[in-house]
Amino acid sequence: MNIARIPVGLTLFVTLALTPPLAGAQYALTEATMESVESVAFGECWWLAEHAEPKPTDRTQFERQCRDSLAPKIVEQRRLLGEAEKQLATEYAQLSTALKAQGRIRPRSLLLSQRNWAKFRDAHCTLEVERVMGNYRSPHRLATCLEVEATKRIEYLKGFAG
């Protein structure tokens, strides 16, 4: 089927119906988890040493100790973010099914709400990281914010059905 021949309204419907709820809004999630743990710890600890007051007397030792203590926290944060994302997908699917069965809302409304929330979450978390760290992109801090926002959304979706 040639998409150019589909009327505009139908194209929008086809796009919304066939695209996953968070498609296009996963940039921050990818950015938060794609670098190696060692690379993230190195960057975070470099930034901390660079902005520490007073400056560490032995910067090499400071950064090494920082990386050793931060790496397990990064691994745990990524695990928590993964769990939150899975639970969010489950809650969304359950709510979508329940609302369709009840006929309470148009299915597209929940889909649009979820997509817009994901865009907001990504922008909000990016802003929060930049507020704290300036231009330095902190995947660890970004993952922390994404996990917190996903947990809030899970609670919202759970309360929506009730």
Domain count along the chain: 1
Considering Cα of 123, then 80, then 156, then 98, what sign does the dihedral take? positive
- How far from chain centre, in Å, is Cα 84? 10
116 residue type, one letter? N
Assess if residue 74 is contained within a domain: yes
Angle ∠(63,70,76) on CA atoms, nearest 5 = 165
The CA distance from 126 to 52, in Å, is: 22
| Tokens representing residue 102 in the block | 């009840």
At CB < 8 A and 24+ separation, what contacts does 8-17 make? 13/108, 16/108, 16/111, 16/112
> Could you give the 3-state DSSP secondary structure of residue 135?
coil
Query: Is the Cα dihedral 117, 119, 120, 122 positive or negative?
Result: positive
**Does any domain span residue 50?**
yes
Tell me the C-alpha distance between 124 and 78, whole Å.
19
Give a yes or no: residue 21 inside a domain: no
Closest CA to 97 of 107, 85, 112: 107
- Whether 112 is in a domain gets the answer yes
Residue 125 within a domain: yes
Q: Determine, yes or no, domain membership for 9.
A: no
Q: What is the pLDDT of residue 22?
A: 52
Range of the domain at 53: 27-161
pLDDT in tens, the chain (162 residues): 333 333 333 333 333 333 455 544 555 666 667 788 999 999 999 999 999 999 999 999 999 999 999 999 999 999 999 999 999 999 999 999 988 888 878 778 899 999 999 999 999 999 999 998 887 888 899 999 999 999 999 999 999 866
Helices 37-51 + 59-102 axis angle, to 10: 120
Q: Is residue 94 part of a domain?
A: yes
Using CA atoms, how far apart are residues 96 and 98, in angstroms rounded to an integer? 6
> Residue 39 phi/psi, 5° resolution?
-65, -40
